[in-house]
Amino acid sequence: MDTHVVEHPLAAALLTTMRDERSDNATFRNALRELTRMLIYEAIRDAPIEEFDVQTPVAVARGVRIATPPLLVPVLRAGLGMVEQASALIPQSRVGFVGMARDEQTHQPVPYMESLPDDLAGVPVYVLDPMLATGGSMKHTIELLVARGATDVTAVCVVAVPEGIRALADSGLPVRLVAATVDDGLNDDAFIVPGLGDAGDRQFGPR
Ligand code: PRP
């Protein structure tokens, strides 16, 4: 699976703020918003563009726009903190929603909500979720997208681990990954180490 880790000192500094247990909910949310901007820059870097003429106050210039804006799919709750910046950067994009909570005992994803366009043939999809741990939530989300015809999915994550990357690669699903870091791995509770804690709780408080 194609995996791109964003390497930039500003991204590393924002990630550090998110990791720091002393960062309160608002500080964490702000850092996630800003880091999302960088992740989206990288995710869309090679997207096809269309050229068109634009009239400046002086002359006609060639302008560009993204040929097919992606559908943005935040995975609730934690992905919610990424969608505002992503849609601000790509204003033509539509937004779909998937709600999923990981069972604390089994670590399996438990879906509780989906609101997605019926037909995703030919539509690039960016799934927004700060954490790729076992990969179960991401896999399930991509299966929902593929069932609607999606063939071009980008997982946009802050922290990924080798276990989750392997799970996505082994699934054979049409996905690539853009992340800010690949951490060491999972502990016995399937929490990312060193990670940043529970990205949903750290934005919105405990469930
Ligand atoms: C977290 C995270 C991912 C998932 C990752 O969500 O935001 O969705 O766990 O774990 P996985 O790769 O092992 O599936 P959580 O279930 O804590 O829900 P929340 O976003 O509502 O806090």
Give the count of domains, the chain. Answer: 1
Q: Does residue 188 carry a catalytic annotation?
A: no
Tokens 């015809």 map to which residue? 149
Which of 198, 202, 204, 207 most suits a substitution to test ligand 1, by most atoms within 8 Å of the C-beta?
Answer: 198
Residue 159 Cβ < 6 Å to ligand 1: no
What range does the domain containing 149 cover?
A: 3-204
Angle between helices 25-43 and 9-19 (to 10 degrees): 150
* pLDDT tens-digit readout, 72-86: 999 999 999 999 999
For 131-141, what is the mean pLDDT?
98
For residue 104, pLDDT over 90 is answered with no
Asked if 71 and 63 count as a contact pair (C-beta separation under 8 A), the reply is no
CA 20, chain centre distance (Å):
21
For 51-59, what is the mean pLDDT?
98
Residue 207: predicted pLDDT: 86
Distance CA(161)–CA(67), nearest Å, equals 32
CATH code at position 26: 3.40.50.2020
Complex prediction ipTM: 0.98
For 59-77, what is the mean pLDDT?
98
Output the average pLDDT for the chain: 97
Asked if 6 and 42 count as a contact pair (C-beta separation under 8 A), the reply is yes
Per DSSP, the three-state class of 121 is coil
Residue 198 Cβ < 6 Å to ligand 1: yes
Distance CA(201)–CA(207), nearest Å, equals 7
Residue 136 Cβ < 6 Å to ligand 1: yes
